[in-house]
């Protein structure tokens, strides 16, 4: 891979912690900035966790505290401490492993300005998001030219026809659907890693014991966190300790391991389906439009099941505009998409991850953890 600068935007979180380790092991020198966000736990805790994790791993990367709440919109924030523990790292904050660490001080000042300045200084960056998209959306709104400076954006979030907060919504999108839909429709080159793939990327207790076997501080910390995570995930129906965020980091490091399809993603921003991902597949050359279902010269109709009852998406087109309207329960308008008659450009150009080999991903994560700071 050519040398790229990377910004990592994260809400640690146990699977975030593993993903940070995997990324730093591969590209320590290239990670220019860590940005924290509320998400799995409130901002103060996620920031402390990020600081502890990099201290434990013995790396020194500038960190800036990002958003402490969703942007303006309909979100009602709930943390995910039921999976990650009330401290976000399965109780490790009270352990000797974390207690005696010397932590760096977060950069002080206007967070968005700091992020923007670091991108300008780098020329362009790749940006990986492992939490709600509030920071990146706010950054783009305030500094629209940043879109041209973003190389590849890799996002963990969303679910097609499934959720993990409820039947519809994935956690990161549910935290701030407005920011998610804004980023997905604005960024030009974005890989989306949805829970359809990531829920299968899960450690067993045996694999967790293997990760901890070296007994170094990092190995012990990972083992303790992952054991906690395993039991919580399994209690909520998971296959094991689910490594959503590491799957996204692997999509960045090894895109060849995945299959993608290019599409638009709309995220529902109101009503009971708040945070739900809708796939908009549209090819448009001014004459032919296809939106998931069939088309005739002027009208398109697509229908998708949502809660086994009724999500209905309707698309009408003329030669200039494509409008996709999705109603939930037949009553509330929940999403709109537009096309300028040429392509979905301007509405996002998402590479949605559709296929991977979960066992292989788990093995690659384990191999990385064996190397990363476990000495
Ligand atoms: C996402 O939500 C968080 O709990 C995880 O860290 C991951 O980023 C999965 O839905
Ligand atoms: Ca996360």
9 CB under 6 A from ligand 1?
Answer: no
Please tell me the number of Cα atoms within 13 Å of 341 on its side-chain side.
6
The pairing of strands 259-267 and 277-280 is: antiparallel
Q: Tell how far the Cα of 215 is from the centroid of ligand 2, in angstroms.
A: 26
Q: Which atom of ligand 1 is nearest to the CA of 14?
A: 6
Q: Is the backbone of residue 75 left (phi > 0), alpha (psi -120 to 50) or beta?
A: beta
Tell me how far apart the alpha carbons of residues 268 and 336 are, in angstroms, rounded to a whole number: 9
Instruction: Record the pTM.
Output: 0.87
Q: Tell how far the Cα of 301 is from the centroid of ligand 1, in angstroms.
A: 33
pLDDT tens-digit readout, 270-292: 888 899 998 876 443 332 233 33
38 CB under 6 A from ligand 1?
Answer: no
Q: Tell how far the Cα of 33 is from the centroid of ligand 1, in angstroms.
A: 20
CATH of domain 5-258+356-371: 3.90.245.10
Question: For residue 2, what pLDDT is reported?
Answer: 61
pLDDT tens-digit readout, 56-110: 999 999 999 999 999 988 899 999 999 999 999 999 999 999 998 999 999 999 9
Yes or no: say if 171 and 149 are a contact pair by the CB < 8 Å rule: no
Closest CA to 93 of 37, 12, 9, 10: 12
User: Which 3 state secondary structure label does DSSP give 247?
Assistant: helix
pLDDT tens-digit readout, 122-144: 999 999 999 999 999 999 999 99
Percent of the chain with pLDDT over 70: 80
The pairing of strands 63-65 and 299-304 is: unpaired
242 CB under 6 A from ligand 1?
Answer: no
Count, residues in the chain = 375
pLDDT band (50, 70, 90) for residue 337 = very low
End-to-end CA distance of the chain: 26
Spell out the domain ranges in the chain: 5-258+356-371, 265-347
pLDDT tens-digit readout, 232-255: 999 999 999 999 999 999 999 999
Tell me how far apart the alpha carbons of residues 44 and 64 are, in angstroms, rounded to a whole number: 12
> What average pLDDT score do residues 39-53 get?
98
Sign for the pseudo-dihedral over CA of 323, 324, 330, 332: negative
């Amino acid at each position: 891979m050519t040398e790229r600068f990377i910004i990592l935007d994260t809400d640690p979180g146990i699977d975030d912690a593993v993903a940070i380790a995997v990324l730093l092991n591969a590209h320590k020198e290239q990670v220019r900035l860590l940005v924290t966000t509320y998400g799995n736990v409130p901002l103060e805790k996620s920031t402390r966790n990020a600081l502890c994790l990099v201290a434990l791993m013995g790396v020194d990367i500038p960190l800036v505290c990002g958003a402490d709440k969703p942007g303006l919109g309909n979100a009602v924030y709930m943390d995910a401490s039921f999976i990650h523990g009330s401290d976000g790292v399965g109780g490790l904050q009270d352990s000797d492993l974390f207690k005696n660490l010397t932590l760096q001080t977060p950069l002080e000042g206007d967070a968005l300005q700091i992020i923007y300045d670091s991108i300008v200084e780098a020329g362009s960056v790749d940006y990986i998001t492992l939490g709600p998209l509030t920071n990146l959306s706010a950054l783009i709104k305030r500094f629209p030219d940043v879109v041209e400076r973003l190389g590849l954006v890799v996002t963990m979030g969303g679910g097609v026809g499934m959720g993990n907060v409820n039947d519809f919504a994935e956690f990161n999108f549910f935290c701030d659907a407005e920011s998610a839909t804004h980023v997905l429709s604005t960024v030009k080159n974005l890989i989306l890693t949805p829970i359809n793939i990531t829920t299968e990327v899960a450690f067993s207790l045996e694999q967790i014991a293997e990760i901890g076997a070296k007994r170094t501080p990092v190995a012990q910390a990972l083992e303790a966190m992952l054991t906690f995570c395993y039991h919580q995930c399994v209690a909520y129906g998971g296959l094991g300790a689910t490594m959503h965020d590491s799957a996204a980091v692997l999509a960045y490091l090894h895109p060849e391991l995945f299959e993608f399809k290019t599409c638009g993603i709309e995220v529902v921003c109101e009503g009971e389906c708040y945070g739900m991902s809708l796939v908009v597949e549209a090819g448009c050359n001014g004459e032919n439009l296809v939106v998931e279902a069939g088309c005739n010269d002027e009208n398109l109709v697509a229908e998708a099941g949502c809660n086994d009852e009724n999500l209905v998406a309707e698309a009408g087109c003329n030669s200039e505009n494509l409008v996709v309207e999705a109603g939930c329960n037949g009553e509330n308008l929940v999403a709109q998409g537009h096309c300028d008659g040429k392509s979905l450009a301007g509405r996002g150009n998402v590479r949605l991850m559709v296929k991977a080999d979960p066992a292989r991903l788990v093995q690659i994560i384990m191999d990385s953890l064996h190397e990363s700071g476990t000495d």
